[in-house]
Amino acid sequence: MAKKTSRAKTKSGGWSIATRAIHSGEARRRYADSLMTPIVQTSTFTFKDSKHIEDYTKNGMEHFEYGRYGNPTAQIAERRLADLEGAEDCVVFTSGMSAITTTILTLVKSGDHIVITDDSYKKTLEFCQSYLKQFGIGCTIVPFGDYGFIEKAIKKNTRLIFSESPTNPYLNIFDLVKIKKIAKKHNVLTLIDSTFATPFNQRPLEFGIDLVLQSATKYLAGHNDILAGAVLGKEKLVEKIRDLHKSIGGLIDPHCCYLLLRGLKTFPLRVERQNESALKIAEFLEGHRRIQKVYYPFLKSHRHYKVATEQMAGGGGVVTFEIKGNINDAKRFLDALKLCYIGPSLGGVETLITHPALVSYYNYSRKLRYKLGITDTLFRLAVGIENVQDLIDDLAGALKK
Ligand SMILES: *Cc1c(COP(=O)(O)O)cnc(C)c1O
């Protein structure tokens, strides 16, 4: 069992995560002695002479040949992310979804089967349920947290188990120790979408998970200004994914990698603040008479409080809650907010709030929505890095209405 340590504080190479987020994965002296990482804005790279070509093709000399096969700015982003996650290797993608789909496509072939938990990202579920079927790949969707069910769902041809942790919107926490044990027994790969946790709060690879997926769009880049994704794990597996990525070809551009690297420098600082603020907001909401229920993994009332506090360093920046009343009360609350922006996504510096019933699930029947737990008065707050009292005042003011 993982000890209740601040795993995020584990040092690698003597430096803590706050230092490595700024300095790792990059040569100390850079082009023109620049302090900042150069953006190598080129689609192709040149050879000095014929010897250089042969050193590259025959003698394994490192060289960037063509933009779709790699770029120095992207490589630095990959090395930094790998260092933060404690991974041997990493590939960056144009988005989190690109990382997820390319990874799954690399690992399965026709006739295979995968197991995925039911409160995964909507697009991930859609991809596994509908798209993979076209290639004869089976998919069983299992209820989150039912480990007996998961084990029963594993067949002879099951290749992998995929889950998020924490999940959206209820912030359920997957027990990584338990799932690793099941996966090992049946010899299947484990994939964790760790977007909500980030390597600051949890590093699934340390629990023996095979591959970690990240939507770097969220906390890692952190400024709501780019889309990016990553897969991280053992070199042998990641190299296969990189190969397919080169063929599929949706490569991230160097400028975007620069923005990702810039965002990463403050990522531990931001997530530390978001952990603190989210917990304070969760406690404030839990004590408010107009609140029905609050979901936050580091609140004692959360169904996965124990496993969360054992396996994670912090609860993250998302707080989900239900207000008392009906859909009209929910709309009035939303319309009365002055600081929180109404919008999807999470992990950025600006606080965002979404009302899943009105947005992601607007085309579902009310009955189906309620079956999925998406009630009329449910909100997901993605806490930014503003002053926490200002945020609490905004929420309190809107709840008064
Ligand atoms: C946003 C998100 C994704 C998709 O990432 P994009 O960068 O938007 O493609 C996948 N998983 C989780 C948990 C997410 O929050």
- Concatenating the DSSP letter of every residue in 306-322 gives HHHHHH-S---SEEEEE
Check pocket membership of 314 for ligand 1, CB cut-off 6 A. no
Whole-number Å distance, alpha carbon 345 to ligand 1 midpoint, is 8
| 3-state SS, residue 255 | helix
Spatial distance between the Cα atoms of 359 and 374, rounded to a whole number of angstroms: 11
**Backbone region of residue 171 per phi and psi (left: phi > 0; alpha: psi in -120 to 50; beta: other values):** left
Q: Considering only CA atoms, which residue is closest to atom 2 of ligand 1?
A: 215
What percentage of the chain carries pLDDT values higher than 70?
97
Strand-pair category, 158-164 with 113-117: parallel
Spell out the domain ranges in the chain: 1-95+215-265, 112-200, 268-400
Residue 136 identity (one-letter amino acid) = G
- Supply the pTM of this predicted model: 0.95
| Per-residue pLDDT reduced to its tens digit, 334-382 | 999 999 999 999 999 999 999 998 888 888 888 888 888 889 999 999 9
Whether the per-residue pLDDT at 323 is higher than 90: the answer is yes
Ligand 1 atom at shortest distance from the alpha carbon of 97: 9
Given ligand 1 and candidates 215, 225, 360, which is best to mutate, with the most ligand atoms within 8 Å of its CB? 215
Q: What is the pLDDT of residue 74?
A: 98
Query: 11 pLDDT band (50/70/90 cuts)?
Result: very low
Cβ neighbours, 10 Å, residue 51:
11
Do residues 351 and 383 make contact, with C-beta atoms less than 8 angstroms apart?
yes
Q: Considering only CA atoms, which residue is closest to atom 13 of ligand 1?
A: 195
Whether the per-residue pLDDT at 73 is higher than 70: the answer is yes
Q: What is the pLDDT of residue 6?
A: 35
Spatial distance between the Cα atoms of 331 and 342, rounded to a whole number of angstroms: 11
Check pocket membership of 217 for ligand 1, CB cut-off 6 A. yes
Spatial distance between the Cα atoms of 277 and 272, rounded to a whole number of angstroms: 9
* 280-301 mean pLDDT: 98
Q: What is the pLDDT of residue 13?
A: 61
- 3.50.50.60, 3.40.50.11900, 3.40.50.12780, 3.90.1150.10: CATH of 268-400: 3.90.1150.10
Strand-pair category, 318-323 with 138-142: unpaired
Check pocket membership of 165 for ligand 1, CB cut-off 6 A. no
Nearest to 74 by CA among 245, 235, 314, 320: 245
Could you please state the CATH topology (level 3) that the domain comprising 112-200 is classified under.
Answer: Aspartate Aminotransferase; domain 2 (3.40.640)
Q: What is the pLDDT of residue 15?
A: 94
Both tokens of residue 328? 């009209």
Q: What is the pLDDT of residue 5?
A: 33
Whether the per-residue pLDDT at 218 is higher than 90: the answer is yes
At what angle are helices 388-400 and 327-336 packed, to 10 degrees?
140
We find that the CATH architecture of domain 1-95+215-265 is 3-Layer(aba) Sandwich (3.40)
β-strand partners of 352: 341, 382
| Per-residue pLDDT reduced to its tens digit, 174-202 | 999 999 999 999 999 999 999 999 999 99
Q: Do domains 1-95+215-265 and 112-200 have the same CATH topology?
A: yes
Whether the per-residue pLDDT at 26 is higher than 80: the answer is yes
Whether the per-residue pLDDT at 216 is higher than 60: the answer is yes
* 284-290 mean pLDDT: 98
Whether the per-residue pLDDT at 279 is higher than 90: the answer is yes
Whole-angstrom CA distances from 131 to 137, 271, 309 are: 9, 34, 36
Given ligand 1 and candidates 117, 122, 218, which is best to mutate, with the most ligand atoms within 8 Å of its CB? 218
Check pocket membership of 97 for ligand 1, CB cut-off 6 A. yes
